[in-house]
Amino acid sequence: MNTHSVRLEVCVEDVAGVRESARLGADRAELCDNLAVGGTTPSIGAIESALLAATEQMEARREAVGPSWIHTDLARPFELIVMIRPRGGNFVYDSDESRAMIADARRIARLAQDMGAVPDAATTSPGGSTPVTPAVTVGFATGALHDDGRIDRGLITRLVEASGASPLTFHKAIDASADPLKAYEVLHSLGVARVLSSGAAHDAAKGSPLLAAMVATGGPDVVAAGHVRPENVEALVEVTGVCDVHMRCPVVESGVGPMRTDPVLVEKAVSLVHALSCVSEH
């Protein structure tokens, strides 16, 4: 068991949001397109641009600290989570949609490999031979169900395989499953790294009993999501025992266009979340 700071994942809809999340010290950013329908797969160009932006920010932060950064939290890479979802609506996908999801995951994993953004890929530290992880790595968020609410084991297995070394998060589709706690156990057997959930409720605070049950069961890391805010995150972590939280930090504005990320909210969230401690196996 390890005691460490709670990790913050910021949900964003553009490259600027990824850049601000990396600059201000968030642990991860989930990049989606079309958050109005819950998020869909961003373009390969947006993903590459986001990887470059996050890498620039992490390298700048490391340079500002100097060679000693390898002994700080900056040695841990920032993680770009890419949504794999072909459309809004339900999470039951036909064969054409399934092929598209697998193809997207495979191509994004290849891009991550080409750009050196693969978890556990060792590089050489400045002025020495100490192996360090990359500045940025890639992960995936996805989910798929059958009509009866069971996990689509076949599709998830193929998506885990297509993701390669990159960890896969099963997103809030778990809250639409017939039995979320049973689904959590199934996902553990399929090699899923994390589960994003509001505890099958409208928000994570109301779903805290189920989130706590998942954490107690042991398996994929549980990422609490759903109306998580700076003002409620401490109580949520205390009640559920989660070590990861997912939140949006939007600029409040009217009109159309992608959701912009408010750096002031990100900075506040980073400060509050990283002040919290949790105990996990990872």
For 226-239, the pLDDT digits (tens) are 999 999 999 999 99
From 70-74, 143-147, 175-179, the region with the lowest mean pLDDT: 70-74
CA atoms within 13 A on the CB side of 67: 7
Q: What is the span of the domain harbouring residue 157?
A: 2-280
pTM, full prediction: 0.94
Average pLDDT value for residue range 131-157: 94
- pLDDT of residue 131 exceeding 80, the answer is no
pLDDT band at 130 (very low <50, low <70, confident <90, very high): low
* Per-residue pLDDT at 90: 97
Strands 2-5 and 78-83: unpaired
User: What does the pLDDT average to over 99-112?
Assistant: 98
The maximal CA–CA distance of the chain, rounded, in angstroms, is: 57
Count of beta carbons in the 10 Å neighbourhood of residue 75: 14
- The answer on pLDDT for 255 being more than 90 is no
- Provide mean pLDDT across the span 46-75: 96
Of the two residues 145 and 129, the one the predictor is more confident about is 145
The pLDDT of residue 123 is above 70: no
Q: Which backbone phi and psi does 119 adopt, to 5 degrees? A: -55, 140
Q: What sign results for the dihedral spanned by CA atoms 225, 226, 231, 236? A: negative
Reported confidence tier of residue 78, pLDDT bands at 50, 70, 90: very high
In angstroms, the CA 214 to CA 210 distance is: 6
- Segment 87-116 shows an average pLDDT of 97
Domains identified in the chain, total number: 1
What pLDDT was estimated at residue 149?
97
Q: Which of 251, 237, 178, 241 is nearest to 10 (CA)?
A: 251
In Å, how far are 55, 143, 166, 179 from 136, measured between CA atoms?
Answer: 6, 23, 12, 35
Instruction: Give the domain CATH number at 122.
Output: 3.20.20.380
